[in-house]
């Protein structure tokens, strides 16, 4: 039926039809039924209007296209379309079109788990919508901001935005927005541990949508209900709702939705002791999250993988995995995930026979639960704390037992040493050598672990945590000494195309070659690190605008001379770079990084393979 509609629109619509709001709204509404057909139609219309130099209609097609791309999790393509649309829309003087591109930009940022950026973008868009008196967009942006606040555990502020959006949507009979808002209210109750209330609101949200026409929305609500039943330990109900969500996601070919369901089915399998099935579900979800750069889900997927690894008996590997996640868990700023991480780390230390560290982690988990309960005014604190204290006391008891066993072993060893006094000196020397070898191996292993924890495994470059720590130190020094400092965000151009056309091994070779080119081209005082995917962060102390420009040119020249295995010489590897200099009102390194990030987006929108300097 949808393809028939497209044929009808293509065959009979005239210029007047394209100018009508109804035409574009009808096309946008079809995203919920078959987004891939909408993408095909929108691309066709964009090409048509580009050839006919109808700029306004071309932007209309781009707005619909960006919405469909976000719905199908094609985030990189969506980002390109949105940035181009925002760069051109002001010339057309259409406030509504600008709002639509802003809305999709916020949704894209939300899908990538960049909560603070969601709050900032939504606040900016909200001001514009209020100036233009657009109730529907005001409701959208209030709701979007509330989602960022909720994800940042700012529940009271989130609830205030939701209620304001709810009143506007109710007054203007915006049923779809009402469904989304009621869904978000349910999520706030979920964050507060009020699972029955959350399930009630999710089921209410289902009544606002047509499940036959909005399969995407229905699948999300079913997923949320299934997740809540997991929290209630009603695993049979949870599995039933998740299977319904999975069936819809498979029908829609929604890879992200499918991955989300598998991540929760992994939790059910883990809770029922079916660790191999849990591992299978994680393997079907984690690569999808990594490809889509959904950082929160990547972190939680790795946390679940560590738990399964621990349950399967590989205690040391699980411990290493958990320690490597410490910074990522902190960045989530989520009380529930932090508690789960602390408990998993405590159990991992316990299984690795590091009883003192295990006891400390149990105490940290108890303290975290107390703080969370105080903030959210939970009445279940006493029960939870009692359970944790029991675990803590059990851990102390086990520690005492182990110490007694060790004491008995020491006594036995002392008796044995007295019996072996007569051994020749050569035996003593041999024993000392063995001990020295063991100590040397332990020291070397510890150094290797520290190096791996601070380095990117693929390229050997400083990882996100390492380069940001170095940048924070340089930022503090620059502020104290009133000296210059520059940061640059670098993004390899069309990196996904390289992976798709030449394979992931060629993509890995590109990343390695780029890091080597940077090391050969930057100053000794500069530092560069990989912060994720194809993104890099360059810190340049005492750097002028000319220093930044020179660094960009040197890196580009060195990279162009590299012969990269797997990548034909006819396919040049380029990058875009956005740089920002320190300003008097900068409070932290992130202030500079945000400006540099905006500058690199501008460089990409202007054609890539170039440097853009943020305004001072």
Residue 1 has pLDDT above 50, yes or no: no
What pLDDT is attached to residue 439? 57
Query: Domain 464-613, what fold?
Result: Alpha-Beta Plaits (3.30.70)
What pLDDT is attached to residue 372? 66
CB 214 within 8 A of CB 177: no
Q: Which residues contact 403 (CB under 8 A, 6 or more apart)?
A: none
Tokens of 272: 């029922």
Residue 583 has pLDDT above 70, yes or no: yes
Residue 397 has pLDDT above 60, yes or no: no
Report the C-alpha gap between 241 and 401 in whole angstroms. 45
Report the C-alpha gap between 351 and 407 in whole angstroms. 20
Report the C-alpha gap between 124 and 118 in whole angstroms. 10
Per-residue confidence at 420, pLDDT binned at 50, 70, 90?
low
Q: Which residues contact 143 (CB under 8 A, 6 or more apart)?
A: 161, 162, 165, 177, 180, 181, 184
What pLDDT is attached to residue 481? 92
Instruction: Report the CATH number of the 210-293 domain.
Output: 1.25.40.10
Mind giving me the DSSP string for 25-80?
A: HHHHHGGGT-HHHHHHHHHHHHHHHHHTT-HHHHHHHHHHHHHHHHHTT-HHHHHH
Give the homologous superfamily in CATH for domain 113-201. Tetratricopeptide repeat domain (1.25.40.10)
Report the C-alpha gap between 507 and 346 in whole angstroms. 38
Tokens of 88: 């051109």
Tokens of 254: 């929604």
Per-residue confidence at 487, pLDDT binned at 50, 70, 90?
very high
Please count the other Cβ atoms lying within 10 Å of the Cβ belonging to residue 379: 8
Is residue 537 helix, strand or coil? Answer: strand
Choice between 426 and 39, residue whose per-residue pLDDT is larger: 39
Residue 524 has pLDDT above 80, yes or no: yes
Report the C-alpha gap between 450 and 467 in whole angstroms. 15
User: Where are the alpha helices (H) located in 112-174, listed in sequence order?
Assistant: 115-131, 135-151, 155-171
% of the chain residues with pLDDT over 70? 84
Report the C-alpha gap between 407 and 413 in whole angstroms. 10
Q: Which H, E and C letters describe 163-225, residue by residue? A: HHHHHHHHHCCCHHHHHHHHHHHHHHHHHCCCHHHHHHHHHHHHCCCCCCCCHHHHHHHHHHH
CB 289 within 8 A of CB 113: no
Residue 451 has pLDDT above 80, yes or no: no
Report the C-alpha gap between 550 and 471 in whole angstroms. 20
Top mean-pLDDT range of 87-91, 152-156, 187-191, 381-385: 87-91
CB 561 within 8 A of CB 553: no
What pLDDT is attached to residue 241? 92
Tens of pLDDT along 290-336?
A: 888 887 889 888 988 988 888 888 888 988 988 888 888 877 766 67
Q: Alpha carbon of 112 to those of 31, 116, 290, 432, 613: distances in Å?
A: 20, 11, 10, 55, 25
The gap from C-alpha 87 to its chain's centroid, in whole angstroms, comes to 26
How many contiguous H segments (helices) and E segments (strands) does the chain have? 28, 5
Choice between 436 and 144, residue whose per-residue pLDDT is larger: 144
Q: One fold for both 113-201 and 464-613?
A: no
CB 491 within 8 A of CB 575: yes
Residue 376 has pLDDT above 60, yes or no: no
- Rg over CA atoms, the chain: 28
Q: Is 461 left (phi over 0), alpha (psi -120 to 50) or beta?
A: beta
Choice between 338 and 555, residue whose per-residue pLDDT is larger: 555
Q: Alpha carbon of 59 to those of 16, 24, 38, 103, 596: distances in Å?
A: 16, 11, 15, 15, 27
Each domain of the chain, given as residue ranges in start order, spans 25-112, 113-201, 210-293, 464-613
What pLDDT is attached to residue 405? 72
Residues recorded for the chain: 616
Tens of pLDDT along 74-103?
A: 888 989 999 998 888 888 777 888 888 998
Is residue 386 helix, strand or coil? Answer: helix
In eight-state DSSP terms, residue 462 is B
Least confident of 265-279, 418-432, 433-447: 433-447
The gap from C-alpha 215 to its chain's centroid, in whole angstroms, comes to 25
What pLDDT is attached to residue 385? 42
Report the C-alpha gap between 241 and 235 in whole angstroms. 10
Tokens of 285: 């979800």
Within the chain, what is the greatest distance between any pair of CA atoms? 106
The gap from C-alpha 9 to its chain's centroid, in whole angstroms, comes to 39
Least confident of 234-238, 332-336, 545-549, 588-592: 332-336
What pLDDT is attached to residue 448? 46
Q: How many CA atoms lie within 13 A of 211 on its CB side?
A: 13
What pLDDT is attached to residue 392? 42
Residue 10 has pLDDT above 90, yes or no: no
Q: How much is the pTM? A: 0.44
What pLDDT is attached to residue 480? 92
- Phi then psi for residue 485, to 5 deg, are -155, 140
Tens of pLDDT along 465-486?
A: 999 999 999 999 999 999 999 9
């Amino acid at each position: 039926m949808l393809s028939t509609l497209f044929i009808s629109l293509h065959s009979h619509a005239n210029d007047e039809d394209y100018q009508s709001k109804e035409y574009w709204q009808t096309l946008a509404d079809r995203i919920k039924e078959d987004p891939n057909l909408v993408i095909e139609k929108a691309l066709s219309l964009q090409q048509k209007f580009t050839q006919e130099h109808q700029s306004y209609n071309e932007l209309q097609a781009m707005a619909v296209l960006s919405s469909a791309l976000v719905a199908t999790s094609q985030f990189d393509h969506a980002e390109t379309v949105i940035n181009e649309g925002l760069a051109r829309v002001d010339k057309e003087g259409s406030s509504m079109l600008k709002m639509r591109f802003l809305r999709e930009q916020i949704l894209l940022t939300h899908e990538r788990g960049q909560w603070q950026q969601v709050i900032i973008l939504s606040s900016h868009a909200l001001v514009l919508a209020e100036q233009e008196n657009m109730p529907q967009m005001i409701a959208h942006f209030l709701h979007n901001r509330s989602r960022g606040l909720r994800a940042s555990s700012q529940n009271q502020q989130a609830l205030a935005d939701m209620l304001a959006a709810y009143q506007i949507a109710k007054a203007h009979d915006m049923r779809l927005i009402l469904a989304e808002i009621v869904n978000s209210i349910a999520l706030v109750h979920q964050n507060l541990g009020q699972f029955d209330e959350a399930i009630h609101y999710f089921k209410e949200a289902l009544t606002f949508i047509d499940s036959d026409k909005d399969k995407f929305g229905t699948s999300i609500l079913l997923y949320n209900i299934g997740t809540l039943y997991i929290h209630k330990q009603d695993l049979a109900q949870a599995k039933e709702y998740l299977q319904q969500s999975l069936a819809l996601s498979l029908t829609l070919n929604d890879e992200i939705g499918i991955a989300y369901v598998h991540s929760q089915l992994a939790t059910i399998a883990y809770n029922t002791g079916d660790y191999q099935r849990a591992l299978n579900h994680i393997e079907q979800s984690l690569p999808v999250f990594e490809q889509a750069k959904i950082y929160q889900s990547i972190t939680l997927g790795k946390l679940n993988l560590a738990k399964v690894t621990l349950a399967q008996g590989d205690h040391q590997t699980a411990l290493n995995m958990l320690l490597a996640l410490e910074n990522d868990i902190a960045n989530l700023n989520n009380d529930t995930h932090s508690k789960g991480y602390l408990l998993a780390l405590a159990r991992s230390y316990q299984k690795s026979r590091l009883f003192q560290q295990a006891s400390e982690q149990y105490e940290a988990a108890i303290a975290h639960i107390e703080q969370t309960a105080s903030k959210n005014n939970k009445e279940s604190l006493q029960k939870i704390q009692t359970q944790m204290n029991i675990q803590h006391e059990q851990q102390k008891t086990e520690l005492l037992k182990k110490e007694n066993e060790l004491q008995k072993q020491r006594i036995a060893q002392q008796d044995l040493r007295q019996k072996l006094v007569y051994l020749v000196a050569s035996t003593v020397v041999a024993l000392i050598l063995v001990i020295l070898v063991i100590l040397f191996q332990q020291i070397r292993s510890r150094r290797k672990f520290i190096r791996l924890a601070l380095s990117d495994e693929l390229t050997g470059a400083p990882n996100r945590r390492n380069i940001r720590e170095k940048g924070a130190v340089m930022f503090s020094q620059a502020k104290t000494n009133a000296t210059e400092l520059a940061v640059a965000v670098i993004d390899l151009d069309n990196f996904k195309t390289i992976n798709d056309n030449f394979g992931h091994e060629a993509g890995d070779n590109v990343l390695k070659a780029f890091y080597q080119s940077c090391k050969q081209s930057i100053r000794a005082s500069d530092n560069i690190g990989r912060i994720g995917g194809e993104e890099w962060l360059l810190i340049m102390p005492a750097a002028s605008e000319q220093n930044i420009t020179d660094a960009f040119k040197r890196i580009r020249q060195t990279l162009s001379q590299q012969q990269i295995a797997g990548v034909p010489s006819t396919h040049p590897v380029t990058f875009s770079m956005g740089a920002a200099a320190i300003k008097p009102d900068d409070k932290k390194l992130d202030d500079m990084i945000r400006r540099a990030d905006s500058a690199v987006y501008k460089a990409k929108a202007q054609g890539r393979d170039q440097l853009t300097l943020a305004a001072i």
